[in-house]
Structure 1
């Protein structure tokens, strides 16, 4: 396994074609808009070497028997799924939310299941290709971004009906040595500083859209790939933005302009009947992951709220305790869905373990509905100071404003004014910053909006048995 410094050194050797704020990036490791995202990925490498995290952050490869980074692991047991959500919860508490690597990990797991099924039905070689690719990823400790969502164009039209066929990524040429693809993927987390992209369909493709049913892996610096990327905002801070000044994420529109993919990296090509299952399996794996990372953000909200109440000497007030209970309820109910889903996981024919679909989706559904309430609870407990707290410069650099802040923003007698300010800067970061806004949106839309979970649960859930039990109790025959 490599270290974070080795990861950064590898990135410096790559020639990833990235545009940020209208300018081409020469070195992703030194660009200020990408630095915070790279800091986050660095934690995923470093924690694999730290004694207190190693048991969570590493796994044993079923292909080589070697110790690998868990983010490159295909889950081979219920314990693997349980450890995954323990890891993402622990990491999210450190980086203030998303560790960014889960999309790639969850895409790997979904492809492991579907490529095997394709080989069984069609006699293809996708699964053997996938295992060879997975071996390469694990042995080189690569960092994968999952590229799932197409730009889609007119949402009422199918792929082949669009005025521009490139609005969904598709195969434009099949060659003896590989395929050529064209299109764009949107909202691709950590793509600017990933080693590779794992590309999968975003939804079901019909027979007329077989060319759009494609799955493959490609280096981020492959010829023909251009990324248009948003990034974090970096400036030196002392108290302000205590986590988002150190850790953030970047997201790209990834354009594939006639990109060649060799056959050994292609894991689906035209098998349209399986496209929807692949997209759905990715969603199921990713919603299970949400049951680990979203409770961690609630942990931070809860901790900041409890600390703000304590620093205001209100921690024993009944209405404060009621609000803290509500935060505990959300965090632990969502995490419980992750635990239960892992415990009831099903072993697929490929050997990969799939978390219980219904429970994983219910956990993500709960997370999406609760995030705004959680932020509102913190806002209510922290009050106005959480968004009008004086700046670093006001406190540290100007003796006049420093003196007034020390006098008038003093709270509980045994709490230093500086500590109180630091607490409220954390509250600000959690509920009023740009990252807080992103987290609220990601909580709702990430891994699919609430309707996606409703559709999945209703498609899987055994309502017929419930009707049968109701008939038996009611005395209805037939």
Structure 2
């Protein structure tokens, strides 16, 4: 059943070993670096119980219990519309963007649900395990995240030819389960409940069976896990000056597996390179939707900040400004069109689910991520230089400096100095701050690197149809190189 925010806070007070800034954290839920995101995740849990939001965020499952829409298996277009609405509801309520809160990572397990025939090749128990875990997620409503990226070490070498812990691997089998060593980089792990853990890259060699080809659900309260976190942005500077960095920074963790026992019921595949390869190829079949949806919200925030600045200063009537705003609008609507069309032309998955149209989803992701830096620069230009030179909020309150700032930052009766300051602080934190730079860099690996984005497009685009069109238009009579049986039948 859906949890409350307090139940979630209590669930991460399990004695886990967490470090940040070189210090041991004794209560993740109240530590200044983690508390903002813990509070947001708790707020999402509480929203599910509130009359105002419950209808958009929950549904009645087959047991007659209220469950989270974000965790529901998608079988219809209505399911996807409901998921999109639930995510928008959350982002609107909290007033910002959080990427790792569960709805975008649970979809990675749905991809393995589609690969049950692959799992059955090695052990039917593994396909039973994935079905059980998906049901468990719906029933218990945990904060579920995803652990992919390893330290990797020297990538010109096989893991067996260097320190073997550079990639997570199995060191022992027991009656109770497998014992694993290594490390993963994982956003939000320090304050989440469980992580779907699987290989990043298939460089375990040509062996059909490999100790590196392992995937499992890890209870983040397990013994021998260690969480070494990067420093956060919260508390570095006043919240009035950096409103996003202080509320929405999602802490990344180097998660150390120091001989961690994974019970057999949590193992989803093991020593099966084909299963590992399958999950890497299909990992974002569903989860990319929620991720790209957040790019859409970021585009809205950029356009709003830029347009407010242009209207405040009276520049929105200039054609050059309108053209730049139109570029931002085209970017935004391009993302929106891909998401909308991906649902409208959704396709059945191998496991009987309904997945967003894969070609449209992956090309939409390329659009959203590859043009993001350019759109941020356009928004900076529209906001003007004041986002990098405006004094801090304390100066607006100091009796000696406040009158001058009131004079120079008040534009008219509708735009007084304080609102002008708030908008510039928001735009600076959205586009220019350390936090803004971190978010932009995060795009390079949060849903795999850019080359993998394009590889997904290559695997899912309908090349056959383009060959058919060209074959007919050119009046070709012979077989075109690369034609498959379906294309030859169409040509005939």
The TM-score, its normalising length taken from structure 1, stands at 0.92
Deviations 1:149-193 (A, max 9, x none): 122222223333x3111111111112222111111112x111010
Paired position in structure 1 for 2:458: 458
Q: How far, CA to CA, are the matches of 1:42 and 1:291 in structure 2?
A: 23
Unaligned runs of 5+ in 1: none
| 1:337 to partner: Cα distance | 1.2
Paired position in structure 2 for 1:180: 179
Query: Does structure 2 retain, via aligned residues, the 8 Å contact 1:40–1:249?
Result: no
Alignment of 1:52-451 (within 5 A): 52-61=52-61, 64-93=63-92, 94-101=94-101, 102-114=103-115, 116-160=116-160, 162-186=161-185, 188-204=186-202, 206-208=205-207, 210-235=210-235, 237=238, 239-396=240-397, 398-451=398-451
Q: How far, CA to CA, are the matches of 1:211 and 1:408 in structure 2?
A: 65
Query: Does structure 2 retain, via aligned residues, the 8 Å contact 1:95–1:247?
Result: no
Q: How far, CA to CA, are the matches of 2:123 and 2:234 in structure 1?
A: 51
Q: How far, CA to CA, are the matches of 1:367 and 1:112 in structure 2?
A: 27
| 1:129 to partner: Cα distance | 1.9
- Alpha-carbon distance change, 183 to 322 in structure 1, aligned in 2, over 3 angstroms: same
- Alpha-carbon distance change, 56 to 441 in structure 1, aligned in 2, over 3 angstroms: farther
Unaligned runs of 5+ in 2: 479-492
What secondary structure, in the 3-state scheme, does the structure 2 residue paired with 1:24 have? strand
Deviations 1:62-121 (A, max 9, x none): 6x453212343332333323332333344345442234124532222223222x223543
Query: Does structure 1 retain, via aligned residues, the 8 Å contact 2:234–2:249?
Result: no
- Alpha-carbon distance change, 238 to 468 in structure 1, aligned in 2, over 3 angstroms: closer
What secondary structure, in the 3-state scheme, does the structure 2 residue paired with 1:184 have? strand
- Alpha-carbon distance change, 468 to 234 in structure 1, aligned in 2, over 3 angstroms: closer
Higher relative contact order (CA 8 A, sep 6+): 1
- Alpha-carbon distance change, 206 to 345 in structure 1, aligned in 2, over 3 angstroms: farther
Query: Does structure 2 retain, via aligned residues, the 8 Å contact 1:104–1:145?
Result: yes
| 1:395 to partner: Cα distance | 0.8
Q: CA RMSD in A?
A: 2.1
The TM-score, its normalising length taken from structure 2, stands at 0.90
Count of aligned residue pairs for this structure pair: 472
- Alpha-carbon distance change, 159 to 124 in structure 1, aligned in 2, over 3 angstroms: farther
| 1:137 to partner: Cα distance | 2.7
